[in-house]
Amino acid sequence: MNDRNDDFAAQSGAYALNALSPEEREAFEKHLASSSETRTETTELSDTAVALGLAVDPVTPPPALKNNLMALIAQTPQLPREADVVAESDADSVDAASAPMSHVTPLAASAALAADDPAEQSSTAPAAPATPAQTKAQARWFTRPATALAAVAAAVALVVAGGVVADSIGRSSIEQSSFASQQADQLAAINAASDSQRLVSTVAGGATATFVWSGELATSALIVDGLEALPADQVYELWYIDDSGARPAGLMDAAEDGPTWRVLDGDMGAGDVVGVTIEPKGGSDAPTTDPIVVFESA
């Protein structure tokens, strides 16, 4: 056991420099929770790494980046404060602090973007009570539950990457951006709903589709990673299907970059089946081809 601990202690420098593999990073963070000595050293070495970062010449980013960000944050909710989250959760859950946002994780996985970090998603701080002094001296952001943080960042990155592309059909640019922001709001609302559910399936052709919905909101969204682009005279059409037949629920083009996603038009009924077909440009009133993917929500 001692050897094993020494092994971990030797990794503090590599950890502070982000030079560990994801698996090693995860194991190291678990170890941090149990060793105050390593924790103190790691904190100091992380601060030392920051000093290396401060020696890099600053470069001013293009102004458009800030404009973009200011628009994004205006519609991006912040995480609840940790104390609030813990208060709302059962105190006996080890994962209490990260639980409320954990339903976002599969979205994060489908986003396949930088913020998607498997190591962080499973790193959680110990639930053991600590004295305030201990907390102050030893706890740092890297020992805290990071699940929610990574997942939310990835979910938003998904919105950013796929947002405007997913439905640009026949809309002016102003209509497009307000449409994109509405869609982003709705997607966030579905994920935040207490009854949010999801299914994952493979699309003909190999893409991965994730269907998320909330019965309370009667709203659903489809996220497809790796959706193939169609010829210009065709379009993907989404359908809600119940006993009385298929109702058109919106069109989408494959995103050029990142996952394709769309919040479905109209209300989702309990037990509705959702399907996607390839239709002629402009869409059809009823499906004319076999669906490439089907989800049964019941």
Partner 1 sequence: MLVLMPREADVGVTPEEPGVPATSPQDLLERVATGDQAAFSELYDQMAPRVFGLVKRLLRDHSQSEEVTQEIFLEIWQTATRFDSNRGAAVSWILTMAHRRTVDRVRASQSSRDRDVRIGIRDHNPDYDHVSETIEVRLEHERVEKAMSRLTELQRQAVSLAYYGGYSHSEVATMLKVPVGTVKTRLRDGMIRLRDEMGVAS
Which residues sit at the interface with partner 1, rule CB under 8 A? 10-14, 16-21, 40-41, 43-62, 65-66, 68-70, 72-74, 76-82, 113-115, 117, 135-137, 139-142, 144, 149, 152-153, 156-157, 160
Output the smallest distance, CB 49 to partner 1, in A. 6
Report the candidate in 218, 215, 205, 297 with the shortest Cα–Cα distance to residue 260: 205
Q: Which is nearer to partner 1, 63 or 231 (CB)?
A: 63
Alpha carbons 68 and 170: distance in angstroms, whole number: 23
Per-residue burial over 83-106, b if 16 or more Cβ lie within 10 Å, else e, is eebbeeeeeeeeebbbbbbebbbb
Output the smallest distance, CB 205 to partner 1, in A. 24
Q: Which is nearer to partner 1, 36 or 288 (CB)?
A: 36
SS3 helix, strand, coil % of the chain, rounded to 5?
45, 20, 40
The residue to which tokens 């907390």 are assigned: 135
Output the smallest distance, CB 198 to partner 1, in A. 21
Q: Which is nearer to partner 1, 6 or 90 (CB)?
A: 6
Cα dist from 84 to 90, 96, 104, 230, whole Å: 12, 11, 19, 46
Assigned token pair, 80: 């609840």
Q: Which is nearer to partner 1, 8 or 211 (CB)?
A: 8
Output the smallest distance, CB 266 to partner 1, in A. 30
Alpha carbons 221 and 282: distance in angstroms, whole number: 20
Output the smallest distance, CB 84 to partner 1, in A. 9
Output the smallest distance, CB 281 to partner 1, in A. 31
Output the smallest distance, CB 283 to partner 1, in A. 32
Alpha carbons 252 and 171: distance in angstroms, whole number: 12
Q: Which is nearer to partner 1, 78 or 172 (CB)?
A: 78
Q: Which is nearer to partner 1, 20 or 217 (CB)?
A: 20
Q: Which is nearer to partner 1, 82 or 95 (CB)?
A: 82
**Residue 122: how many CA atoms within 13 Å on its side-chain side?**
10
The residue to which tokens 């490439």 are assigned: 292
Identify any residues that bridge with 245 across adjacent strands, giving them in sequence order.
242
- First CA to last CA distance, the chain: 50
